Structure 1
Amino acid sequence: MLTLAARRIGSLILTLLLVSALIFLVMDVLPGDPAAIMLGTSASADTLEALRRELGLDQPLPVRYLQWLGGLLTGDLGRSYTYDVPVAGLILERLKVTLPLAVMAIILSVAIAIPLGVTSAARRHSALDYLGGVVSQLFIAVPGFWVGLLLVLVFSVSLGWMPSGGFPGWQQGVLPALEALFMPAIALALPQAGVLTRVTRSSVLEVLNDDFVRTARAKGLTRRAALWRHAVPNALVPVITIIGLQFTFLIAGAVLIENVFNLPGLGRLALQSLAQRDVIVLQDVVLFFAALVIIVNFIVDLAYLWLDPRLRGGAQ
């Protein structure tokens, strides 16, 4: 198992290097000159050239990539062209909004999907199973931003129960901050809950037909005990895969929801950086998203080994 983990870590590092090179190359070929955007169209050629030298944009592409990579390894993510502040501080500040939002959304998604998927599998072809299928399909079909707008109209505009948008900051208290994130988390969670419900139902149905479940029933376990003690734990491997992918999607793909609710998160920062041609911020945020996906997938792989002894045996 340790050998397999070491190989996965080596693969993780190599993948991060390749992804960083690809991101840097793509950002370099984007149209627009950061110096011209910062100084405006009326700037003289000498002023533009001086600013390019100051920003290091006059260096060859390999040199700039190695300088950027060296900064990443030492924790120096560069300085924003637009805000003139360290990029690391910008990302950490926006992560205080996006990360709790993603955690709340994944908790809501799991809390809805696991019971609904397991119940649908346990009562296959029943009215409850058909109702669960309709609900999950509805969650998948409805766009998250539309759910967000509907929640604002109902609970903010009509009823006045929840704030319609914005984020007060954690310094104003945990409850006001969580209240501001609650409706965005619901809007993010419902589509993911629909997908996770269908995966959970299919996985549990597949396991219910295995011999060990029938053996557990033959030994005297009730149907409910056999389901939750034996079937569900063995059906979690594909479910955990989806949860890991969903968590990274909720962080990287929350840009629409953050704009609907006017939340100062990472997705909104990436969109603003793209509009302002702030390349250093954009490439750092994109690399953060990519690294998060790779690292979460690595954690999911390790979780496989913990959940399924057969995989540990194969690794040895």
Structure 2
Amino acid sequence: MKRILSLFSVLFFVTLVTFVMTDLAPSDSAEMYYLSKGITPSEEVLNETRHEMGLDKNIVVRYVDWLNNFVHGDLGYSYHYGQDVNQQMLSKLPNTLKLAIFSFVVVLAFSIPLGIYSATHRHSLINSILKNISF
């Protein structure tokens, strides 16, 4: 039971941090929508689109709305502005896979040598630091 509560608290914290970081990004979903189409929208059009998307609401209200939709199974995978979300995701899959493979290689390139060092220098200061960082 303790692990389940821990899982939910970590999940809540991760979604909250991700939501806040996304909100702090220099552009929002409305602006990115137009820029992805090669359109430079006016401020009036952006404000109208932000209102339609609910981006003009307070961040707390938007997060609670998102959390409510998530709990009720509405993940927002629907048709928006004439494009299927699944189709958009599939079009981005090759670049996502490239990034994931590259990240995996970089992680291996660092973690294997550091793991070997830690195993051969069990009680050193550097080993303690590496254990704390990796934890």
TM norm structure 2: 0.57
The residue aligned with 1:191 is: 110
Deviation, structure 1 residue 85:
4.2
| Count of residues in correspondence between the two structures | 116
Q: Encode CA deviations 1:110-145: one digit per residue, 9 max, x unaligned.
A: xxxxxxxxxxxxxxxxxxxxxxxxxxxxxxxxxxxx
1:147-296 paired onto structure 2 within 5 Å: 185=105, 188-203=107-122
Aligned-partner Cα distance in 2 for 1:37–1:96: 18
Deviation, structure 1 residue 53:
2.3
Aligned-partner Cα distance in 1 for 2:115–2:75: 38
Q: Which amino acid aligns with 2:89?
A: L
CA separation of 1:94 and 1:68: change in aligned 2, threshold 3 A: farther
Q: Which amino acid aligns with 2:110?
A: P
Q: Which amino acid aligns with 1:200?
A: A
Q: Secondary structure at the match of 1:76?
A: coil
Residue number among 3, 7, 20 corresponding to 1:25 in the alignment: 20
Q: Is the 8 A contact 1:21 1:65 kept in 2?
A: yes
CA separation of 1:37 and 1:60: change in aligned 2, threshold 3 A: same
Q: Is the 8 A contact 1:52 1:58 kept in 2?
A: yes
Aligned-partner Cα distance in 1 for 2:56–2:100: 40
The residue aligned with 1:72 is: 70
Aligned-partner Cα distance in 2 for 1:16–1:22: 10
RMSD over aligned Cα atoms: 4.0
Q: Secondary structure at the match of 2:48?
A: helix
The residue aligned with 2:85 is: 86
Larger Rg: 1
Aligned-partner Cα distance in 1 for 2:76–2:119: 40
Q: Which amino acid aligns with 1:97?
A: L
Q: Secondary structure at the match of 1:32?
A: coil
Deviation, structure 1 residue 41:
3.9
Q: Work out the percentage of aligned pairs sharing the same amino acid.
A: 21
Deviation, structure 1 residue 197:
0.5
CA separation of 1:100 and 1:27: change in aligned 2, threshold 3 A: closer
Matched, 1:62 2:57: no
Deviation, structure 1 residue 15:
2.3
Q: Is the 8 A contact 1:78 1:86 kept in 2?
A: yes
Q: Encode CA deviations 1:250-286: one digit per residue, 9 max, x unaligned.
A: xxxxxxxxxxxxxxxxxxxxxxxxxxxxxxxxxxxxx
Unaligned residue ranges in structure 2 (runs of 5+): none
The residue aligned with 1:50 is: 48
Unaligned residue ranges in structure 1 (runs of 5+): 1-5, 106-184, 206-237, 246-296, 298-316
Q: Encode CA deviations 1:61-120: one digit per residue, 9 max, x unaligned.
A: 2221122223434261557x8xx4437x73894698379848xx5xxxxxxxxxxxxxxx
Q: Which amino acid aligns with 2:30?
A: A
* Structure with the largest fraction of helix: 1
Structure with the greater relative contact order (CA < 8 A, sep ≥ 6): 1 or 2? 1
Q: Which amino acid aligns with 1:65?
A: Y
